[in-house]
Amino acid sequence: MRLLRFGDPGHEQPGILAPDGTRRDCSAHFGDWNAAFFGGDGLTRLAALVAEGLDALPRVPESARWGACVARPGKVLGIGLNYFDHAAETGRDTPTEPIVFMKATSAVGGPNDPIVIPRDSVKTDWEVELGVVIGRAAHYLDSPEDSAAHVAGYCAAHDVSERSYQFERGGQWDKGKSCDTFCPLGPQLVTPEEAGDLGNLHLTLDVNGVRKQDGSTDNMIFDVPFLVHYLSHFMTLEPGDIILTGTPAGVGAARTPPEFLRAGDVVELRVGDLGTLRQVCVDA
């Protein structure tokens, strides 16, 4: 299944992407794609509803905005330097354990919403990533093999990063990761049976039509099952939480000379068959 949300910011409603490519409104049956939905076996109930046919699910107007594919999560966890080629381009050693940071949940936005460049930013950067949506609470999992039962699905994500905030303002990565609009998600949450081979998803990112990142999840240092298992030993992963699993080589900060986003730039990114995100940059 492919879950989506639609409507004005703060007033999104739950829907699905039907096999015929139309968006269908599920708001008469579910409140939202949120922690209560995932934690209450909502995916099973949604699958049963869809199996009955689409006649009971109205079409979403084509003009309706695409929202983030899940409601605001309890946590957004990022994994730094999780691709061999990205670690190499930064000149850093390959991590021996995952580097973990947090993004503010207020950074979450829709797949086509603008990226707002902060007022004093000079180093706003791009990062295409595979996002993991937790579907069932995970705490002290015994092994990576146990992780699959705790994942609701996957989505494309943009881990927008302000590098001067990240590295030059006291050493806290969260500062450069948490600005408003710095976590576009979507356009759909794709459940595992439709997500494809997680070990070989193609990731691309273009700025103004020029390819900047072109990688694959087969270059990941720590794969998705390991990350879910690992993180569960430091905190409880709750339904609806998001894990951003790292980015391949090609970020702006590692280029010669460095390149950063400016108002008017258009960023398009894609992860496998999970969908495409498109954002126009604007000044705060």
Per-residue pLDDT tens digits for 251-274: 999 999 999 999 999 999 999 999
We find that the CATH architecture of domain 70-283 is Alpha-Beta Complex (3.90)
CA 9/CA 166 separation, integer angstroms? 27
- In DSSP notation, 201-267 reads -EEEEEETTEEEEEEEGGGBSS-HHHHHHHHTTTS-B-TT-EEE----S--GGGSSS-----TT-EE
The DSSP line for 74-129 is S-EEEEES-BHHHHHHTTPPPPSS-EEEEE-GGGEE-TTSPEEE-TT-S-EE--EE
- What lies within 8 Å, CB to CB, of 148 at 6+ separation is 192, 225
pLDDT tier at 171 (50, 70, 90 boundaries)? confident
Per-residue confidence band for 37, with pLDDT thresholds at 50, 70 and 90: very high
Sketch the domain layout of the chain as residue ranges. Answer: 2-66, 70-283
Number of neighbouring beta carbons within 10 Å of residue 241: 26
User: Structure tokens of 80?
Assistant: 């730094």
Q: What is the reported pLDDT for 170?
A: 87
Give the pLDDT confidence of 67-124 residue by residue, as tens digits. Answer: 999 999 999 999 999 999 999 999 999 999 999 999 999 999 999 999 999 999 999 9
Residue type, 42: G
Hey, what are 230's tokens? 């690992």
Rounded CA-CA distance 24/163 in Å is 39
Q: What is the pLDDT of residue 167?
A: 92
Determine the pLDDT at residue 164.
96
Q: What is the pLDDT at residue 27?
A: 98
One-letter amino acid at 24 equals R
Mean of pLDDT values over 173-196: 97
Q: Tell me the pTM.
A: 0.97
Q: How confident is the model at residue 172 (pLDDT cuts 50, 70, 90)?
A: confident
Q: How long a stretch of residues is the chain? A: 284
Q: Which residues contact 88 (CB under 8 A, 6 or more apart)?
A: 94, 249
Would the pLDDT of 8 be above 80? yes
